[in-house]
Structure 1
Amino acid sequence: MSIDHQHPASTQRTEHKSFGTPDETRSFERGVAEILTVGGTPIGRLVLQPGWRWSEHVKPIAGTDLCEAPHFQYHVSGELGILMADGTELVARPGDVTSLPEGHDAWVIGDEPVVVVDWWGASNYAKP
């Protein structure tokens, strides 16, 4: 009996990239967004320093009242407070996964930098 071990993604070419050498870097006050494109999809790593808040440090770049980039993120380190436009508030911690629609503010809680890997929305983050 023969078993076909081909995965649907096997028709794509193999890629190996590192956030140590991102394809694009966007710096803003108290933070940085590092973007890789793998398999034709942008993936971002956001590193946010203590004291960072979207409404203070990215809002002037985005020009919107709230962050309008939706996110699908894995939280690697630090604690991130999130307030949605509808009033929903949560704290994301290491190991959490969040799916955030557009319309939110966020801030670093405490003295540890926040690191998140963002599979959705990173390509538009901190872009004027």
Structure 2
Amino acid sequence: MRVINLRRCAMDKAEVKSFGLPDEVREFPHGRLELLDVGGAIVGRAVLEPGWRWSTSVQPIAGTKSCEAPHFQYHVSGVLRIKMDDGSEFDCKPGELSRIPPGHDAWVVGDESVVIVDFQGMVNWAKHTDIGCNDSP
């Protein structure tokens, strides 16, 4: 039986990156997405201005009825309202974590910009070469 050192495989070197120097930036109406690749894990910071709504700002890029990306997000600032395809709605506020499954719309509530850090679902989000919204890896 072969024993594999998973700790060594998963992280063989230390790495520090900053959203101040993102690996990639995607801009769209009323917002931008900054991406970092840290050891093969893609983390995104989205800055969404008042007036941003997925169905008007990103849907034309994605070409899907609703956002098909799953998200696991930390909400830094602002209020983001989520409407699931089943009609249910909820707000995500600063200091909260959210897990949002595929099949939703979202928009900024009020006059404060929304800043979120997303640990899942941003690899293809708002990417002009997408066929769909965002297939997560």
TM-score by length of 1: 0.91
Superposed displacement of residue 40, structure 1:
1.1
Identity percentage of aligned residues: 58
Instruction: Write the deviation string for residues 12-37 of structure 1: whole angstroms up to 9, x where unpaired.
Output: 21001000110000000000010000
Q: Which residue of 2 aligns with 1:85?
A: 85
AA in 1 matched with 2:97: V
> Measured at CA, do residues 24 and 96 of structure 1 come closer, stay the same or move farther in structure 2, by a change above 3 Å?
same
Q: Which residue of 2 aligns with 1:46?
A: 46
SS of residue paired to 1:123: coil
* 1:107 has 2:107 as partner: yes
CA–CA distance in 1 between the matches of 2:15 and 2:25? 19
Superposed displacement of residue 86, structure 1:
1.5
More strand by share: 1
CA–CA distance in 2 between the matches of 1:57 and 1:11? 36
SS of residue paired to 1:125: coil
AA in 1 matched with 2:102: E
AA in 2 matched with 1:82: I
Alignment of 1:67-86 (within 5 A): 67-86=67-86
Alignment of 1:1-128 (within 5 A): 8=7, 11-127=11-127, 128=130
SS of residue paired to 1:120: coil
Structure 2: 5+ residue runs without aligned partners?
1-6, 131-137
Superposed displacement of residue 69, structure 1:
1.0
TM-score by length of 2: 0.85
Question: What RMSD, in angstroms, separates the aligned Cα atoms of the two structures?
Answer: 1.5
Structure 1: 5+ residue runs without aligned partners?
1-7
CA–CA distance in 2 between the matches of 1:85 and 1:12? 41
> Measured at CA, do residues 50 and 85 of structure 1 come closer, stay the same or move farther in structure 2, by a change above 3 Å?
same
Instruction: Write the deviation string for residues 47-92 of structure 1: whole angstroms up to 9, x where unpaired.
Output: 0000100001110000001011111000000000000112221000
Superposed displacement of residue 103, structure 1:
0.5
CA–CA distance in 1 between the matches of 2:21 and 2:35? 9
AA in 1 matched with 2:22: P
Instruction: Write the deviation string for residues 105-124 of structure 1: whole angstroms up to 9, x where unpaired.
Output: 00000011000000000111
